[in-house]
């Protein structure tokens, strides 16, 4: 039997990149998916791919920083599938005015309040909102798995994106705090902290020299793949991780170890 047969999963930012890899991996294990993404067209394409695999899925256009959108996302899961077993908070941005954080842009004296607020809203506030939206359902079920995608930058900090790193540090602490709050209801709350991953907003904007430099920082001398993040998420939402909560699972090829 598939590991997630009969389970219902919501993946935010689930249409492409790491989110797309997570969505299809969970579907392969039998989960029904709610693909919540700001890009509805891409989300619908991912739904078509999942249905072609024999699993069920629905796309919901979702701005994860807006409470009404998040409520609609959770309501869609209940109305379509009757329950919510898994939430993967994957949606995020590097900066509000483009796809990449940059050293000059993120200098504290140059960073605008609007830029700070936007990154915090999408990367950090959204995790709170999505967890809030599913908590009552999971508590009623006395079961649930929540995985928040953070970042190695949330542990180490980065001069080139202090607002991004701060938002991911917030996700890490929220994960630990919520894990303590929800454990008595049979709900596991964990996080995956990726390093630099191929095909994401950061890697695709870098030069080959920058990619090679970042690869050299890893023990394996290569960048990670979205599928490797998806495998870590699958482990944490499966029964194999039933006694794990509040864990921040590093998937960075050994670039940072703690």
* Any domain includes 45: yes
Cα–Cα distance list, 193 to 47, 57, 64, 161 (Å): 26, 26, 20, 16
106-165 confidence digits (pLDDT tens): 688 888 899 999 999 999 999 999 999 999 999 999 999 999 999 999 999 988 789 999
Residue range 222-240, pLDDT digits in tens = 999 999 999 999 999 999 9
**Beta bridge pairs of residue 86:** 9, 145
Q: What is the pLDDT of residue 182?
A: 98
Q: Identify the CA nearest to 172 among candidates 244, 229, 247, 78.
A: 247
> Is residue 100, in this structure, part of any structural domain at all?
yes
Residue 199 forms part of a structural domain: yes
Strand partners, 35: 11, 59
Alpha helices of 55-191 — where are they, by DSSP H? Answer: 67-81, 113-120, 126-141, 153-156, 162-182
Give the CA distances from residue 250 to residues 45, 62, 67, 194, 256, in Å, rounded to whole numbers and listed in that order.
30, 27, 29, 6, 8
For residue 154, what are its two tokens? 């949330």
DSSP one-letter string for 30-94: T-EEEEEES-HHHHHHHHHHHHHTT--EEEEE--TTSHHHHHHHHHHHHHHHS---EEEE----S
Report percent pLDDT > 70 for the chain.
Answer: 93
Write the burial class of residue 122 (CB in 10 Å: 0-12 exposed, 13-18 middle, 19+ buried).
Answer: buried
Task: Give the CATH number, domain containing residue 135.
Answer: 3.40.50.720
Average pLDDT over residues 195-221: 84
Residue 257 lies in a domain: no
Tokens representing 155 are 């542990």
Report how far residue 87's alpha carbon sits from residue 255's, in angstroms, rounded to the nearest whole number: 27
In this prediction, residue 214 carries a pLDDT of 87
Domain membership of residue 108 (yes or no) is yes
Per-residue pLDDT at 99: 43
φ/ψ of 194, rounded to 5, equals -75, 155
Asked if the structure places residue 217 within a domain, the reply is: yes
Assess if residue 258 is contained within a domain.
no
- The CA distance from 93 to 64, in Å, is 11
Range of the domain at 22: 8-249
| Chain mean pLDDT for the chain | 93
Domain assignment present for residue 131? The answer is yes
Residues 6+ apart with CB under 8 A from 103: 159, 160
Domain count, the chain: 1
Q: How deeply is 41 buried, as exposed, middle or buried, from its count of CB atoms within 10 A (0-12, 13-18, 19+)?
A: exposed
Q: Enumerate the active-site residues.
A: 164
């Amino acid at each position: 039997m598939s590991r997630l047969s009969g389970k219902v999963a919501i993946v935010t930012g689930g249409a492409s990149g790491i989110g797309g890899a997570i969505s299809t991996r969970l579907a392969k294990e039998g989960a029904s998916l709610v693909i919540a993404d700001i890009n509805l067209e891409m989300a619908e394409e991912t739904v078509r791919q999942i249905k072609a695999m024999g699993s069920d899925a629905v796309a919901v256009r979702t701005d994860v920083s807006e409470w009404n959108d998040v409520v609609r996302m959770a309501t869609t899961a209940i109305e379509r599938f009757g329950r919510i077993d898994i939430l993967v908070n994957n949606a995020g941005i590097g900066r509000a005015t483009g796809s990449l954080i940059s050293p000059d842009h993120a200098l504290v004296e140059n960073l605008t309040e609007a830029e700070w607020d936007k990154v915090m809203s999408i990367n950090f506030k959204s995790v709170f909102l999505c967890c809030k939206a599913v908590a009552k359902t999971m508590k009623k079920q006395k079961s649930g798995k929540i995985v928040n995608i953070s970042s190695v930058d949330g542990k180490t900090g980065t001069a080139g994106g202090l607002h991004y790193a701060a938002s991911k540090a917030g996700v890490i602490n929220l994960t630990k705090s919520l894990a303590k709050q929800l454990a008595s209801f049979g709900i596991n709350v964990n996080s995956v902290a990726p390093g630099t991953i191929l095909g994401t907003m950061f890697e695709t904007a870098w030069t080959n020299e920058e990619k090679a430099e970042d690869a050299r920082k890893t023990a394996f001398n290569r960048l990670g793949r979205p599928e490797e993040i998806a495998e870590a998420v699958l482990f944490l939402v499966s029964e194999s991780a039933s006694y794990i909560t509040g864990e921040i699972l590093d998937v960075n090829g050994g670039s940072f170890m703690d």
